[in-house]
Amino acid sequence: MQLTAHQIGILLEGTVEGNPEVTVNQLAKIEEAKSGSLSFLANSKYEQFVYNSGASIIIVNEDFVPVQPIAATLIRVKNAYSAFSVLLEKYDELLKSNKTGIEEPCFIHPSSEIGKDVYIAAFAYISPNVKIGDGSKIYPDVYLADNVTVGKNVTLYSGVKVYFNCIIGDHTIIHSGAIIGSDGFGFANGGEGKYRKVSQIGNVIIEENVEIGSNTTIDRATMGSTIIRKGVKLDNLIQIAHNVEIGSNTVIAAQTGISGSTKIGENCVIGGQVGIVGHISIANGSNIGAKTGVNNSIREENLSWNGSPLMSYRDSLKSQVIIKRLPELEKRILELESKIKDRLK
């Protein structure tokens, strides 16, 4: 893949500034780019790298005003990050071999329904009454239990396990080792300190355009459904308990855990290692910082939260500053006590 700045300018509907004949054959980050690389500048934090970058072409936002001369050819576009993403995507398609067909040995129950242009790898296991939509890719060691429904153009990477009756929507991507529909963690008092398993007869519904990270676990509902709404993006090693519902276009970073029956709103952004207790609601547009412990419902929309105990993001920053100075604070109290004592003499 060798392209000129002129060609890329046309592709991205951008304006070329500098030599239009310079060519690139790879994509790179601005701080690592060498000659022959195409790079981009979207975040002003990285602007310093533009002036010394070895990149041959740099995609920038149309309103970018350089403060020093730049050696590279610039291509100005409306949104540099989006434009670069488009190129990444095309490159990605070239990189990945487009697998189709059914490899042997695999296990496909005759009662299952497999769509057109599907890839089913060796060692995939398709149980009775499973449905797989057109264009979906089922990699090695994927296990789809009885009655699982997989939509169109779904990618299930190697080792994904889906328990019975679960539903996966169109264009969804699930990464290796993610477990969908394992039993919710429900036990009743069985007497004498023992526990009795509460059967988990519900399922998991994952809507369309969802992406789920590696080794993330989503438990089936006790009754009803655990629901991941359309456009949700879950990172790796996340725990979603039974009967949780996550609103559309909510994004959650790695290692966060959400306890049973909690409802997360739409368009929330939740950091990594957050813990959210069960049976609460989080309002739409909530922004929750990494490592936060959420132990109560958040009712007002579009606010930022942080800390454990939970505080507004602003209060949390203030509180954190003082936590670091607690020994000094105690000293000041001690001094006050001694002064007061002196005065009372």
Residues 108-147 that bind a second copy (CB under 8 A): 121-123, 125, 128, 139-141, 143, 145-146
Q: Residue 70 Cβ, how far from a second copy at the closest point, in Å?
A: 20
Strands 23-24 and 3-4: antiparallel
Known catalytic residue: 109? Answer: no
Nearest residue to 152 (alpha-carbon basis) of 193, 188, 206, 115: 115
Nearer to a second copy among residue 68 and residue 189 (C-beta): 189
253 binds a second copy (CB under 8 A): yes
Paired tokens of 75:
């291509």
78 binds a second copy (CB under 8 A): no
Residue 234 CB partners (closer than 8 Å, separation 6+)? 210, 211, 212, 213, 216, 228, 240, 246, 252
Nearer to a second copy among residue 10 and residue 223 (C-beta): 223
Nearest residue to 261 (alpha-carbon basis) of 295, 301, 221: 221
Consecutive H or E run containing 174: strand 173-174
- Distance, CA of 237 to CA of 208 (rounded, Å): 21
- Distance, CA of 174 to CA of 77 (rounded, Å): 32
Residue 2 CB partners (closer than 8 Å, separation 6+)? 23, 24, 25
Q: Residue 69 Cβ, how far from a second copy at the closest point, in Å?
A: 25
Q: Residue 177 Cβ, how far from a second copy at the closest point, in Å?
A: 5
Q: Which of 6, 134, 224, 287 touches a second copy (CB under 8 A)?
A: 224
Which range in 1-9, 10-18, 217-225, 297-305 contacts a second copy by CB under 8 A?
217-225
- Residue 322 gets the label, from left (phi > 0), alpha (psi -120 to 50) or beta, of alpha
Distances (CA, A) of 211 to 29, 130, 170, 173: 24, 21, 11, 5
Nearer to a second copy among residue 4 and residue 261 (C-beta): 261
Which range in 8-16, 17-25, 252-260, 296-304 contacts a second copy by CB under 8 A?
252-260
Q: Residue 251 Cβ, how far from a second copy at the closest point, in Å?
A: 7
* Largest pairwise CA distance in the chain: 95
Residue ranges in 36-65 that form contacts with a second copy under rule CB under 8 A:
none
Q: Residue 216 Cβ, how far from a second copy at the closest point, in Å?
A: 8
Q: 6, 109, 171, 242: which is the annotated catalytic residue?
A: 242
330 binds a second copy (CB under 8 A): yes
Nearest residue to 156 (alpha-carbon basis) of 164, 165, 144: 144
Nearer to a second copy among residue 4 and residue 225 (C-beta): 225
Nearest residue to 1 (alpha-carbon basis) of 27, 33, 34: 27
Paired tokens of 155:
């990618």
- Distance, CA of 205 to CA of 193 (rounded, Å): 34
Q: Which of 53, 149, 200, 226 touches a second copy (CB under 8 A)?
A: 200
- Distance, CA of 220 to CA of 184 (rounded, Å): 6
Which range in 4-12, 14-22, 83-91, 130-138 contacts a second copy by CB under 8 A?
83-91
91 binds a second copy (CB under 8 A): yes
Nearer to a second copy among residue 134 and residue 211 (C-beta): 211
Number of residues that bind a second copy (CB under 8 A): 114
Q: Which of 217, 226, 262, 286 touches a second copy (CB under 8 A)?
A: 217
Kindly write out the interface string for residues 145-184 of this chain, putting x where it contacts a second copy by CB under 8 A and - elsewhere.
xx----------xxx-x-xxx-------x-xxx-x--xx-
Residue ranges in 264-303 that form contacts with a second copy under rule CB under 8 A:
266-267, 272-273, 275, 277, 290-291, 293, 295
Residues with a catalytic annotation lie at 242
